[in-house]
């Protein structure tokens, strides 16, 4: 919705009607109204509308690839350790904090050796 809000502000600042935007963008007026209403519109049409009012739609990474990958490795390692601890608890072999920390380090090292594509599965 941030995109729609930004487009709406630009439209209002310019004082453009839906009709003018439709003509300038080459997009049907019904589609223009749907876009400004926050309804689903294809990215291609949304870009045309944005261009017609002097805007550009872009993607901004909110997390670096390394940070996102590290977080996924951590998540998978936590899942593995959790399963091991649950199994151990069922067998009346509780794991202490130090052992858990060591398992977590080992799990992360194991996961880091996997092909990156498998880390996301």
Give the pLDDT confidence of 47-94 residue by residue, as tens digits: 999 999 999 998 888 999 999 999 999 999 999 888 888 776 666 666
Report the pLDDT value the prediction gives residue 98, as an integer from 0 to 100: 87
Of residues 87 and 38, the one with the higher pLDDT is 38
Q: What is the CATH number of domain 2-52?
A: 1.10.260
Write the DSSP assignment of the chain as a string of letters.
Answer: -HHHHHHHHHHHHHT--HHHHHHHHT--HHHHHHHHTT----HHHHHHHHHHTT-------SS-HHHHHHHHHHHHHHHHHHHHHHHHHHTT-PPPHHHHHHHHHHHHHHHHTS-HHHHT-
Residues 70 and 108 sit within 8 Å (Cβ to Cβ): no
The ranges of the chain annotated as CATH 1.10.260 are: 2-52
- Share the mean pLDDT of the chain: 90
Report the pLDDT value the prediction gives residue 100, as an integer from 0 to 100: 85
The total number of residues shown for the chain amounts to 121
């Amino acid at each position: 919705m941030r995109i729609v809000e930004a487009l709406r502000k630009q439209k209002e600042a310019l004082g453009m009607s839906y009709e003018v935007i439709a003509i300038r963008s080459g997009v049907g007026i019904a589609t223009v109204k749907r876009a400004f209403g926050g309804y689903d519109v294809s990215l291609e049409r949304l870009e045309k509308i944005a261009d017609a009012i002097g805007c550009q739609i872009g993607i901004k990474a909110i997390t670096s690839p390394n940070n996102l990958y590290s977080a996924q490795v951590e998540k998978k390692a936590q899942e593995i350790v959790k399963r091991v601890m649950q199994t151990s608890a069922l067998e009346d072999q509780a794991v202490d904090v130090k052992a858990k920390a060591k398992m977590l380090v080992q799990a992360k090292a194991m996961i880091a050796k996997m092909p990156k594509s498998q880390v996301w599965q």
